[in-house]
Chains A and B, each alone.
Chain A
Amino acid sequence: KNEVEQSPQNLTAQEGEFITINCSYSVGISALHWLQQHPGGGIVSLFMLSSGKKKHGRLIATINIQEKHSSLHITASHPRDSAVYICAVTQGAQKLVFGQGTRLTINP
């Protein structure tokens, strides 16, 4: 079993829909990260959080430390949000451990 599990693996939605991607982890962490990888391959860090909730534009990330679960929400989704979203965790000073990613496709 992977230390970081994401669901769903693939998600297709219509423009404007509210999107939720889930991440569960099985180890103690110092931080949880949400990353975005566009079709061209580049990876961008969206959020780093260790508690509570963060918001950036239409993106919201939440984490529940007790339940070892995080969600990434996208409001008013747009075709340009189409990408692979990757959850990753750091344990103490250790390197990133990644989930398998969620491929999101937003159709116009």
Chain B
Amino acid sequence: DSGVTQTPKHLITATGQRVTLRCSPRSGDLSVYWYQQSLDQGLQFLIQYYNGEERAKGNILERFSAQQFPDLHSELNLSSLELGDSALYFCASSVGEQQRYGYTFGSGTRLTVV
């Protein structure tokens, strides 16, 4: 157990639907990062939150949004789902704002859009 908890582990949903993925960071970590891993694109950074505030944005679609709550857990919301959104979604957490000083990945949520 890495200490970073992601739920659910698996999610199957239909096109056009909306889902919410949840991430609880390791105790003491203030930053949460979201990543998407698809077969054709590999791992890509989506967005980072630090202590409740958005810090960096990557290749995140407008249909996707995220937030970090006062208890530091984070949610990634995916709406108007398309087949191409099927992927593994990982979150990672770190103590500070930068991953170059250390981070921990969660085990991921596998999203299948049918």
Interface residues of A (CB under 8 A from B): 30-31, 35, 40-45, 48, 86, 88, 90, 93-101
Contact = CB atoms under 8 A, between A and B. Distances in A.
B98 A98 contact: no
Given A41-B108, A95-B56, A100 B42 contact: yes
Interface stretch (B12-20, B62-70, B73-81, B99-107): B99-107
B43 to A, nearest CB: 4
A88 B58 CA distance: 15
A93 B99 CA distance: 8
Interface of B: 2, 33, 35, 42-45, 48, 56, 58, 88, 90, 97-100, 102-105, 107-108, 110
**Best-buried of A41, A86, A95 by chain B (most CB within 10 Å):** A95
**Best-buried of A88, A94, A100 by chain B (most CB within 10 Å):** A94
Q: Is the interface of B mostly helix, strand, loop or mixed?
A: strand
Contact of B103 (A41, A45, A86, A98): A45
Given A86-B43, A100-B42, A48 B105 contact: no
Nearest to B46: A95
B102 A42 contact: no
Contacts of A40: 107
